[in-house]
Structure formats: structure tokens, C-alpha cells
Amino acid sequence: MLRPFIDAHVHLNTNTQAKLQLAAQYDAYFVSINTDIPFFIDLQAQQEMITTLNKSAQRSFFITSFDTQYWNTPRWLPHAMEQIKAGIAAGAKGVKIWKNIGMDENLKDAQGNFVLLDDARFDPIFQYLSDAGILLINHQGEPRNCWLPLEEMTVTSDRNYFAAHPEYHMFKNKHYPSYETHMAARDRVLERYPKLNYVGLHLFSMEYDLDEVAKRLDRFPNTKTDLAERICHVQLQAMQDWEKVRQFFIDYQDRIIYGTDVIDDGSTSAEAIAAKLEQLWQYHWEFFATDHIMEAPAFTGSFKGLNLPQPVLKKIFYSNAVATYKLDLHQANF
């Protein structure tokens, strides 16, 4: 395993030490992404949690966000801007927009339409971030599988999840925006703000086809992407066309950031979270760094590890996160 390395997509919402002890063992650092999720602690508490964790071991950075508490009122934009500016002043390395923009039944305009990312009311935020050189990271939509029938989903992890949670299965919720609508709204924002520094999380939510991810990276030169919770989709494509997948990581080695999307919210023991992180780190490293024949729990069949060159591995697991999130691992800046 590379040392040091960065898990640049986690959600550290508990003050437990096992994950920090593991990070010290591996010389790993975290980027914890604050998100306006109903079952998370609130955004301010998420930020304060990183401060608390860093009193024990300075291995965690954070991304700030904003909520929609006053949506459809004049208070919404000033409130959101205040949250953004306060987060940046406290040391946040960027600003997160979550999938609730476009997928929340309660977030609609005055005419009852779902609010999408390209809604004009977000323009002042995008303009501010662009002008100030502040990074925007975005979880837009969901995996394309979310809009497919269960039997057409490409990985069992998605199939099992949406079978158990049909309320989130967009194939069964025809009145929600389509997958294509989400992707088009995101692309329009990037066209409108070409100077905006942007990370399209989860392979731009286009995990099903690395060609589509490549098109966005080519089309929008100020963008990068991360791998969080979508590596099984990459492995499936490696089983089908190993050379193409390997070449994608070589071609876009400066634009890809490693992350696991592990959620530490107290629902799982501290020891189990640390064990999960360690298992994922080792498993993902084996896939990217070796040519071992491997299997994935998400689908049937075997595939070969990508055996990427060491300079490429260093960028994906370390350097790209440092450059993108402006991380200083040697001087506390929290």
C-alpha cells in the first residue's frame, strides 16, 4: 500500500479512535465530506466533529456544504452563502452539493417542479465559487441502475439495495426526473461556469461506462472525478475490456481521486468501521496495483487487476487529492 495515501471521500461523524489508529498504521489521511443528509448529524456538528478528531490525530480534512432550510423564501440564499463562507473560513477544502438537489420530493419550485442543479437560484453560489476559486464537489443523481428494472441492473449490490428500498428505486417512481435529466442539468452548469473547479463524485454518476466519464473530463477541463463506492462498476468493465479500463486510468491519471465513501455514523461499531476501511483499502489497492486474478461480491466472474504504473498509483491515491483539495499534511490547518 502506498504511504502516505488519502481516502478522499468518507463521512466521519463519530468521535471514535479506531479509524484514527488505523490511519496512523497505514499513514492514511481522510477527507470527510459534510453532507445535508437527513440521518446525519447536522452540518455544523459534522464540521465540529472533524475539529474534535483532529485534537487526537491531525489526519482529517473536511468539505463544507449548505442546506435548503429556507427554500422558496428570501432567506434561503443569504443563509446558504453564510454557511458556505463560514465553512471555508473554518478550513473547509471545498463545498459539497448532494443528490437531494433533483431527488428530494420536498425540494420543488413554486409550480411543484423538482429543482435541478441548473436552477437559476443556484447561480449566485456557482458564480461566487467560480470567482473565488473555491472547489465545488457534487453528487448528482444516482447510479444509472437506479432507473433500471432490477433484472437489468449490472451489479448485485445495487439490485439488492433497490429491492429492499423500492422508495428509492427511480424505475418505480416515474414522476421523478430521469437519469438523463440529472446528467444534462449537471452538464449545463459546467457549460455555464467553465472556470468552476469541480469534482464529479462517483465517476460523475456515469459509472456504467468509462467512455462517458472520459467525455466529461475532455469536455470540461477544470473537472476531476472520484471513485467512491463505484469501483465495482470499474471492475465489471475490466472483466469485459481490461485494456480499455487500464488505458482510461493511464490517460486520465491526473484527474482521478481515490475514496471509499465509508460512512461512520455510529450505526456500526468503531472496530467494524476500521475493519471495513482496512479491507477496502487493501482490496482496492490489489485491484489497481497488481495483475492478480480477482473476484468482486457485486457480480459473478473474475477479472485481472489493472497493474497500473507506480507514478499513476501515486497520483490516484495521493497526489491528485493533495492538489485538488489543497491539503497540507505536514502543517495543521484546521
Q: 5-325 belongs to which CATH class?
A: alpha beta
Check whether 334 has a pLDDT greater than 50. no
Q: At what angle do helices 210-219 and 179-192 cross, to 10 degrees?
A: 20
Q: What is the mean pLDDT of residues 318-332?
A: 88
pLDDT tens profile 258-269: 999 999 999 999
How many residues appear in the chain? 334
- Residue 38, pLDDT score: 87
The 3-state DSSP class for residue 226 equals strand
Q: Where are the domains of the chain?
A: 5-325
Is it the case that residue 86 has pLDDT exceeding 60?
yes
Q: What is the C-alpha separation between 8 and 29, in angstroms, rounded?
A: 8
Q: Sort residue 37 into left (φ over 0), alpha (ψ -120 to 50) or beta.
A: beta
Q: What are the pLDDT digits (tens) for 117-168?
A: 999 999 999 999 999 999 999 999 999 999 999 999 999 989 998 999 888 8
Rounded to two decimals, the pTM is 0.96
The cell for 117 is 442543479
Per-position b or e across 53-79, b if 16+ CB within 10 A of its CB: bbeeebbbbbbbbbbbeebeeeebbeb
Task: Categorize the per-residue pLDDT at 255 as very low, low, confident or very high, splitting at 50, 70 and 90.
Answer: very high
- Whether pLDDT at 330 is above 90: no
Please tell me the distance from the alpha carbon of residue 183 to that of residue 303, in angstroms, as a whole number.
29
Task: Report percent pLDDT > 70 for the chain.
Answer: 99
Distances (CA, A) of 277 to 35, 181, 267, 274, 296: 20, 34, 15, 5, 16
Please report the pLDDT score of residue 246 as a whole number: 98
pLDDT surpasses 70 at 333? no
Q: Please count the CA atoms within 13 angstroms of the CA of 303 that sit on its side-chain side.
A: 27
Arithmetic mean of pLDDT, 60-84: 96
Q: To which residue does cell 428509492 refer? A: 168
